Structure 1
Amino acid sequence: MATLTEALDNGQQRAEAALHAVLPDPALTPSRLHEAMRYAALTPGKRLRPFLVYQAGALFGETGAALDAPACAVEMIHAYSLVHDDLPAMDDDDLRRGQPTCHRAFDEATAILVGDALQALAFRLIAEAGLVDAGRRIRMVEELARAVGSRGMAGGQAMDLAAVGRQLDIAELEDMHIHKTGALILASLRLGALCAPQAVSADAQAALDRYGHCIGLAFQVQDDVLDVTGDSRHTGKASGADARRDKPTYPGLIGLEESRRFAAELRDQAVDALSPFGAAGDTLRSLADYIIQRDH
């Protein structure tokens, strides 16, 4: 069995090859928009969400090309969210993944259109995914739409903006991050499962959902920790940005060490959720460790 590092590298290479194939060619009009879309989607990154699509598919017996469309779709949605998140009206960031943010590399109007176009392309890819039957494609569109809308990622971003300068309690902070970060992570797993040759049982889906909920929140807790402790050379973005913007974070609310303890607790819960899958869940178990140990 491949190590987690090998599996992550393979997933990253597979996702990037698939993205290269489906993103518009800059030679096509409007060339500047297409160039910017590729810049935003292909900037080096972990490709965690496509990896979750691939791993959830493999957990239920699907490893083939049927997974590539949803893997590209979730990464395009993630890239669009980062482009818009970085805009002056949102977090006003100059650096993303160690490179100038999209609105700095191009311009603000182009960055807005990049997000619009990437989101549209993501849904088109799923709608046209011929290797998956029409009924499951509709369910995939539903899952992704729910994850990115007002009750998912966009809603979480709105909650985040409204929380600047306010003191949230732990339940409010968790709810915000379940929407902002966790919803797309959970959707990535669900989309992979929907590509399986056979329908996934309710019990298996519930176990996978529990895992997704725990790693989604753990990912955000670790992000908050890295905003305090991380080196911008590793994280690819300015450290301490949340504190400068007076944004609520786990370290700000419960302290750094308690945040680390909470992330470890979520990791343990995620690992426990995978018990019904036996050895087939080992890569996802290792991923839960990686999420709280990463330095970027």
Structure 2
Amino acid sequence: MVMTLRKKIGFAIPLLNFLLFKKKIPFFIGWMLTARCNKQCKYCSIWDRREAELDTGTIIAVVRQLSRLGTKFISFSGGEPLLRDDIGEIIDCVSHHKMYVKINSNGALFAQKIHRLRKLNEIKLSLDGPEEIQDELRGKGSYREAIAAATDAKRNMIKVSFNTVLSAHNLTCLGFILDIARKFEAKVTFQPATPFLLGGDKVNPVTPLQNDYRRAIAILINTKKMNKHIANSFSGLAYLYRWPYAVRKMHCYGGRFGCRIEVNGALSHCGVYRHKEDSGNLQNCKHSDFKLAFQRLAEIYCNECWCAPDIEINSLISLQPEVLWNSLFSG
């Protein structure tokens, strides 16, 4: 289910409408379906949260609204989205409405759920290094589960991609990770382990030293010239090299060309922006019209972003030529 160049160009029409007529459109949706997780990764605390989830009927109703409003991409995350018993029904609904559907997963449950995931376009699997490092960061058996899921996905014609969190444990493993990506004809998105645990405010114990982190990003920039498996654009990598210091404020696409739906149905710009209480963005799509809630999201300028996909989208809608090329012709 690889997206063709023709379809990519067709998806550019809403982007032109957005740029020319300043028409807000929820083109990209990131959706945190659950905070529940079957892993306790060292750089994350989401698994420790307890949040009420939207029921199946509400999710289906919102998906239908999104289709009418012009959404083309939905990326489901968690927690672990495959923990939801209705994940197959949700994916089928998104696919029925002609939207590209991706899930971010650790892969542990993929084999037992594969019969419900036939219409999935893409699975992005967590890959943080060789078995001993992956299992140290994400729990025993995590590496083999991710590789098995990638193998099953390829066998079932589902696109595979990987996400790597650059931590103090894996900065010397870039070559290994890219070799795995080459084996599966996949791309890897690299992004940093943040100073605080993902989803919380406790200090992250695996945040890399700044000099070591920047050295790794510099290696990725040089490697990308000859390696097609790095998903980040040169522009995106340059931004991450400077992060979190001397980073320019970006006019965020959140609230303009997409947004995030939280576990309880609240809308926010993204999963990174830490000032949600000041944004007027906690409109709950469970109890109100999505279009109205989306229109209420304020435009923001932010220099907090470490999320590589969001950085790429922001660069894309600013029409940076290299990012456009990377998006259209590099996978």
**TM-score, structure 2 normalization:** 0.29
TM-score normalised over the length of structure 1 = 0.32
